[in-house]
Amino acid sequence: MINLPDLKTAQINGKKVFLRADLDIPIENGIIQDDTRLEEGIETLNFLLGKGAHVIIAGHLGRPEGKEEKFSLKPVADYLAKKLNSSVKEGRVGEFEGWQITPELYLLENLRFYPEEEASDPVFSQKLASLADVYVNDSFATVHRAHSSIVGIAGLIPHYAGFMLKKEVEVLSNLLENPKRPLTVIIGGAKIETKLPLVEKMHQIADYVLVGGKIAQETKVLLKVQHEKIEGRKSALMVADLNPQMSDITSNDAENFLQIINMSQTIIWNGPIGITEGLEENHEISSFKLAYGIANSGIYSVVGGGDTVGYLKKIGLLGKFSFVSTGGGAMLELLSGEKLPGIEVLGSV
Ligand code: 3PG
């Protein structure tokens, strides 16, 4: 079990706290489409403000190439101001642009507007560290990234885990230690370069690995070759075929997936297995059939990833899952037994 430093023991009254939050949420034309990740982070923010800390919230949104306006965190500034009955003022913290939300709360603009963030540049990490006395990470979804605001800064000032991060690590580590079997992992969605190695790693923990969505479409042959090469104990792998429109897996494979799901005692799901955008009313798509099947099965189910969680929320089935993780890639990496840099830097194992 991973021991994370307990935020409740931190001396933060009157101190400046750098809160690495999960701000990577779906935003379209400046409108927030799903605020699950922000909601999950409110407990830690309220705790810090309630303890008299001056909080600087920072995080990233999407994968911008330079300073792209559509990836600005301004909608998040407005969201926070609304939550705290306040208003947004443009401001600066050190050399970082951002917004003042209340006298005690600043939000920095998207850290990925600076290439140094993802490069984990030591000078950049130092600049971030110089803004605060204490560092708190409450962004579980990014702990698999060794970036400046996740790893670099944490090594430089006293550091703690926020409540959301702590809960995620506890629940998922427990699951990893003793899962009820058969354990089935369903992987879909995009982000192929993140997920491809994870499909392979999942063989060590799962009994069945079911792959759909874009990753099935683009890496079917590769996945099968990878699978053949694994020696010793390995899970059964099923990579779905896609329909002629390439919008979904075939209904035949959706049926096959459901049969395996119904034989399972634990389900882990990350990534829609076909296109779901704008199809929230459509009960014929495979992601709906799977969601409905899992939700009504009574099987212990863990779901994670922004797109999957957003979709389940829209179709009203999210509450039927046993545990909802804010992480996608991070959840799968933790469950595959990987050591995650953002967690390692915070605690001892
Ligand atoms: C996520 O949404 O999984 C995290 O925010 C990580 O995003 P990334 O894959 O762009 O690093």
Question: Is the pLDDT assigned to residue 162 strictly greater than 50?
Answer: yes
The yes-or-no verdict on residue 341 having pLDDT over 90 is yes
Query: What is the arithmetic mean of pLDDT over 252-262?
Result: 97
d(CA 147, CA 151): 6
Q: Give me the pLDDT at residue 1, please.
A: 62
| Segment 227-255, tens digit of pLDDT | 999 888 899 999 999 999 999 999 999 99
Please tell me the predicted confidence (pLDDT) of residue 349: 36
The percent of the chain in helix, strand and coil, each rounded to the nearest 5, is 40, 20, 40
pLDDT of residue 13: 96
Q: For the segment 186-228, what is each residue's pLDDT rounded down to a tens digit? A: 999 988 888 888 888 898 899 999 999 989 988 888 998 889 9
Ligand 1: which of 73, 137, 145 to mutate, judged by most atoms within 8 Å of the beta carbon? 145
How much distance in Å is there from the Cα of 211 to the middle of ligand 1?
20
Question: How far is the centre of ligand 1, averaged over its atoms, from the C-alpha of 142 (Å)?
Answer: 6
Q: Which residues pair with 58 in a beta bridge?
A: 20
Which range is least confidently modeled, 46-55, 134-143, 330-339? 330-339
Question: Mean per-residue pLDDT for 128-133?
Answer: 98
Q: What is the mean pLDDT of the chain?
A: 94
What pLDDT was estimated at residue 31? 96
Where residue 48 falls among pLDDT bands split at 50, 70, 90? very high
Q: Nearest CA to 332 among 270, 272, 274?
A: 270
Residue nearest ligand 1's atom 1 by CA: 141
**pLDDT score, position 245:** 93
Q: CA dihedral defined by 59, 64, 318, 175, rounded to 10 degrees?
A: -60
Is the pLDDT at 348 greater than 60, yes or no? no
Give the 3-state secondary structure of residue 166. Answer: helix
Q: What strands lie across the sheet with 134-137, from one edge to the other?
A: 89-93, 96-102, 105-108, 54-58, 16-20, 134-137, 159-161
CB 106 within 8 A of CB 57: yes
Work out which ligand 1 atom sits closest to the CA atom of 62: 10
pTM for the full predicted model: 0.91
Burial 299-329 (b: 16+ CB within 10 A, else e): bbbbbbbbbbbbbbbebebbebbebbbbbbb
> So what's the pLDDT on residue 164?
97
Task: Report d(CA 244, CA 259) in Å as an integer.
Answer: 23
Tally Cβ neighbours within 10 Å of residue 251. 13
Q: What is the pLDDT of residues 11-30, one digit of tens each?
A: 999 999 999 999 999 999 99
Q: What is the pLDDT of residue 143?
A: 97
Mean pLDDT computed over 164-174:
95
The CA distance from 177 to 293, in Å, is: 26
What percent of the chain lies above the pLDDT cut of 90?
A: 85
Nearest-atom number in ligand 1 for the CA of 141 is 4
Of 60, 195, 196, 340, which is best to mutate to test ligand 1, by the most ligand atoms within 8 angstroms of its C-beta? 60
Distance 6 CA to ligand 1 centre (A): 25
Look at 8-12, 217-221, 268-272 and tell me which has the smallest mean pLDDT. Answer: 217-221
pLDDT tens for each residue of 65-101 = 999 999 999 999 999 999 999 999 998 999 999 999 9
